[in-house]
């Protein structure tokens, strides 16, 4: 993984001097009539309000009014009562001009990613993007820049069935989705988002497209755009794209692995002589120490737990290891000649129902906790964990992961660090919403639960 200066914005560097003016010029160039002010709710759903071109300059200054109750919505879109949370509260949807992108799959429309702030402009205690900003600030206090990339898999469906039946990395599998994928890559590029690689994945209709790593906030923003663009471009091609962990019963899951490295001058995860540094080892120690609670934020839906099948490379074993694809944390072997740039860790136990700002922010807080307390991650697992008995896994310190969203939420509530950094009312909103999903979806027909996730994500 390399450092990246790739910008997600269509605003050129020369214009970056005056963000608002540059934005207005970019809106003109994109011929956008509506600019969507977008944010991601606690269930990972992209929400928004659109502003006309004429009103944009005003709303960039004032933000847009929003009832805070929207951030208490469950997956069935029912606001949940949360103790201490005022349903009459108002927040302001405040755009970050640097995130502007035209939406080529929706001609005449463009988008901005937003923070949710209080009426007086101070940060709102349940804004997901602010949570990641805070985690990045904490990393900076310790002297580190954070470089990250989300690596989502998705399923292309036509009339509810997988688009193709190709094999993993199938040479002909490329053809099945070629038109859609090529237009997706072009659309992303036109928005300033650089794609790194693409391949057909293991399951019918499953594909994977990776973006260039970027500073943490931008990486999460890019992931939000990637999801929106993929779904929008697929729709324009008469297809449905779903990032649901398992959109149809029987399919192998869609992961959303998170690659991370900390930088201080150079790559602080890379030891001077090659291999993992002490910084990286302690960071891993922190992530492992908080893994059960983290799972509630990384595998954030009822459907997430359909994906966590041992042997499917979803990272279901609570351990780390070099190139160990069933470990929650894989340490990818660096590329020859690019060792410094490509040393990173990959948190595999994450899917795209996670709110990316909460997911990345929580991983950072856990990892930094490991650094501050010099947590020892133990020995890396260098064998296939599927071949080890339950007793042997225990002996080697492999941490059992929650097996359902209900178990994960309980683990999160037991995790003092994560509860403390989430803060109030974010933690109460999050745990209440997730419990509502467990309750509501538990009463539904299992086929409908798969379909609901396929549709929403
Ligand atoms: N589909 C797997 C998952 O659920 C990942 C396969 C891979 O390693 O690319 O995470
Ligand atoms: Mg993959």
Would the CB of 252 count as within 6 Å of ligand 1? yes
- Domain membership of residue 381 (yes or no) is yes
The verdict on 259 and 333 lying in the same domain is yes
Bridge partners (DSSP) of residue 208 are 153, 199
Mutate to test the pocket of ligand 1, among 149, 295, 326, 348 (most ligand atoms within 8 A of CB): 348
Phi, psi of 321 (to 5 degrees): -175, 155
Ligand 2: centre distance to CA 72 (Å)? 32
Is 253 a pocket residue for ligand 1 (Cβ < 6 Å)?
yes
Q: Work out the angle at residue 286's Cα, subtended by the Cα atoms of residues 281 and 291, and round it to the nearest 5 degrees.
A: 120
Report whether residue 313 contacts ligand 1, using a CB cutoff of 6 Å.
Answer: yes
- Length of the chain as a residue count: 457
3-state SS assignment for residue 388: coil
Q: Say if residue 423 is exposed, middle or buried (CB neighbours under 10 Å; 0-12, 13-18, 19+).
A: middle
Give the residue from 418, 425, 431, 416 showing the smallest Cα distance to 125: 425
Q: Is 246 in the pocket of ligand 1 (CB under 6 A)?
A: no
User: Do 107 and 166 sit in the same domain of this protein?
Assistant: no
Q: Do 340 and 267 meet the contact criterion of CB atoms below 8 Å apart?
A: yes
On whether both 115 and 246 belong to a single domain, the answer is: no
Distances (CA, A) of 223 to 15, 214, 250, 355, 393: 24, 11, 26, 10, 34
Ligand nearest to the CA of 255: 1
Query: Is 307 a pocket residue for ligand 1 (Cβ < 6 Å)?
Result: yes
Q: Among 300, 110, 250, 130, which residue's Cα sits nearest to residue 192?
A: 110
CB of residue 255 inside a 6 A radius of ligand 1: yes
Residue 330 CB less than 6 A away from ligand 1: no
Residue 303 counted as domain residue:
yes
* Same domain membership, residue 359 and residue 224: yes
Question: Ligand 2 centroid vs 377 CA: distance in angstroms?
Answer: 25
Domain membership of residue 249 (yes or no) is: yes
CATH number, domain of 26, equals 3.10.20.70
* H or E element at residue 64: strand 64-67
Given this model, what pLDDT does residue 22 score?
87
Structural domain of 207: 133-456
**87 CA to middle of ligand 2, Å?**
41
Whether the CB of 366 sits within 6 Å of ligand 1: no
Angle between helices 356-372 and 278-289 (to 10 degrees): 120
Question: 109 and 137: one domain?
Answer: no
Is residue 106 located within the same domain as residue 160? no
Q: Which residue has the tokens 């904490």?
A: 138
Whether 7 maps to a domain, the answer reads: no
Contacts of 336 (CB under 8 A, 6+ apart): none
Residue 374 lies in a domain: yes
- Is position 357 within any domain? yes
In the chain, how many domains are there?
Answer: 2
**Residue 153 CB less than 6 A away from ligand 1:** yes
Measured at the CA of 60, the angle between CA 55 and CA 62, to 5 degrees, comes to 90
**Does residue 144 form part of some domain?**
yes
Residues 96, 184 within the same domain: no
Ligand 1 atom nearest the C-alpha of 202 is 1
The Å distance, Cα 65 to ligand 1 centre, comes to: 40
Work out which ligand 1 atom sits closest to the CA atom of 253: 4
- Please tell me if the CB atom of residue 207 comes closer than 6 angstroms to any atom of ligand 1: no
Examine residue 9 and state whether it is found in any structural domain, yes or no.
no
- CB 214, CB 222: distance < 8 Å: yes
Of all atoms in ligand 1, which is nearest to the CA of residue 256? 10
Q: Which of 202, 327, 384 has most ligand 1 atoms within 8 Å of CB, for mutation?
A: 202
Q: What is the pLDDT of residue 284?
A: 98
Query: Each residue's pLDDT tens digit in the chain (457 positions)?
Result: 433 333 334 455 544 567 888 899 999 999 999 999 999 999 999 999 999 999 999 999 999 999 888 889 999 999 998 877 777 789 999 999 999 999 999 999 999 999 999 999 999 999 999 999 999 999 999 999 999 999 999 999 999 999 998 888 888 889 999 999 999 999 999 999 999 999 999 999 999 999 999 999 999 999 999 999 999 999 999 999 999 999 999 999 999 999 999 999 999 999 988 889 999 999 999 999 999 999 999 999 999 999 999 999 999 999 999 998 999 999 999 898 888 889 999 999 999 999 999 999 999 999 999 999 999 999 999 999 999 999 999 999 999 999 999 999 999 999 999 999 999 999 999 999 999 999 999 999 999 999 999 999 9
- 295 CA → ligand 2 middle, Å: 19
Contact 294, 287 (CB under 8 A): yes
Q: Which residues contact 438 (CB under 8 A, 6 or more apart)?
A: 302, 404, 405, 406, 409
Cα–Cα distance measured from residue 56 to residue 36, given in angstroms and rounded to the nearest whole number? 10
- Which of 78, 102, 123 terminates a domain? The answer is 123
Query: Which of 95, 123, 151 lies at the terminal end of a domain, its last residue?
Result: 123
- Is 206 found in the same domain as 98? no
Rounded distance between C-alpha atoms, residue 284 and residue 301, angstroms: 24
How remote is the CA of residue 254 from the centroid of ligand 1, in Å? 6
Q: Answer yes or no: is the C-beta of 102 below 6 A from any ligand 1 atom.
A: no
**Are 163 and 226 in a shared domain?**
yes
Is residue 325 lining ligand 1, measured as CB closer than 6 Å?
yes
Among residues 90, 123, 156, the one where a domain terminates is 123
DSSP string, 29-60: HHT-SEEEEEEE-TTS-EEEEEEEHHHHHHHH
Give yes or no: residues 57 and 146 share one domain.
no
Same domain, 78 and 154: no
161 has which bridge partners? 158
Three-state DSSP state, 287: helix
């Amino acid at each position: 993984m390399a450092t990246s200066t790739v910008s997600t914005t269509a605003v050129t560097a020369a214009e970056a001097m005056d963000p608002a003016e540059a934005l207005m010029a970019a809106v003109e160039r994109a011929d956008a009539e509506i600019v969507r002010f977008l944010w991601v709710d606690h269930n990972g759903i992209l929400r928004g309000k659109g502003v006309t071109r004429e009103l944009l300059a005003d709303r960039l200054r004032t933000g847009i009014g929003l009832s805070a109750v929207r951030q208490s919505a469950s997956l069935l879109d029912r606001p949940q009562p949360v103790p201490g949370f005022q349903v009459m509260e108002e927040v302001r949807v405040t755009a970050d001009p640097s995130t502007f992108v035209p939406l080529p799959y929706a001609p005449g429309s463009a988008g901005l990613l937003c923070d949710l702030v209080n009426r007086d402009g101070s940060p709102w205690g349940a804004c997901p993007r602010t949570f990641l900003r805070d985690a990045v600030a904490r990393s900076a206090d310790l002297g580190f820049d954070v470089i990250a990339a989300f690596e989502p898999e998705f399923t292309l469906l036509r009339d509810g069935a997988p688009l193709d039946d190709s094999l993993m990395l199938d040479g002909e599998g490329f053809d099945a989705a070629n038109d859609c994928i090529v237009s997706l890559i072009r659309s992303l590029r036109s928005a300033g988002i650089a794609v790194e690689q693409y391949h057909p994945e293991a399951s019918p209709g499953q594909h994977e497209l990776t973006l260039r790593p970027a500073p943490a906030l931008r990486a999460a923003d890019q992931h939000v755009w990637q999801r929106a663009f993929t779904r929008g471009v697929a729709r324009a091609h008469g297809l449905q794209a779903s990032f649901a962990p398992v959109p149809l019963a029987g399919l192998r899951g869609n992961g959303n692995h998170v690659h991370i490295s900390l930088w201080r001058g150079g790559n602080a995860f890379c030891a001077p002589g090659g291999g993992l540094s002490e910084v990286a080892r302690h960071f891993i120690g922190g992530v492992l120490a908080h893994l059960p609670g983290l799972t509630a934020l990384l595998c954030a839906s009822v459907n997430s737990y359909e994906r966590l099948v041992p042997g499917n490379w979803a990272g279901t074993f609570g351990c780390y290891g070099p190139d160990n694809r069933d470990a929650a944390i894989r340490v990818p072997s660096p590329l020859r000649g690019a060792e410094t740039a490509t040393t990173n860790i990959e948190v595999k136990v994450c899917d795209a129902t996670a709110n990316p700002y909460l997911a990345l922010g929580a991983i950072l807080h856990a990892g930094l906790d490991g650094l501050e307390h010099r947590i020892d991650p133990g020995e890396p697992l260098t064998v296939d964990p599927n071949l080890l008995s339950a007793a042997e896994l225990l002996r080697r310190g492999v941490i059992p992961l929650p097996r359902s969203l209900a178990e994960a939420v309980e683990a999160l509530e037991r995790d003092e660090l994560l509860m403390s950094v989430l803060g109030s009312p974010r933690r109460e909103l999050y745990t209440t919403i997730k419990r509502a999903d467990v309750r509501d979806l538990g009463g539904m027909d299992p086929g409908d639960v798969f379909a609901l996730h396929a549709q929403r994500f």
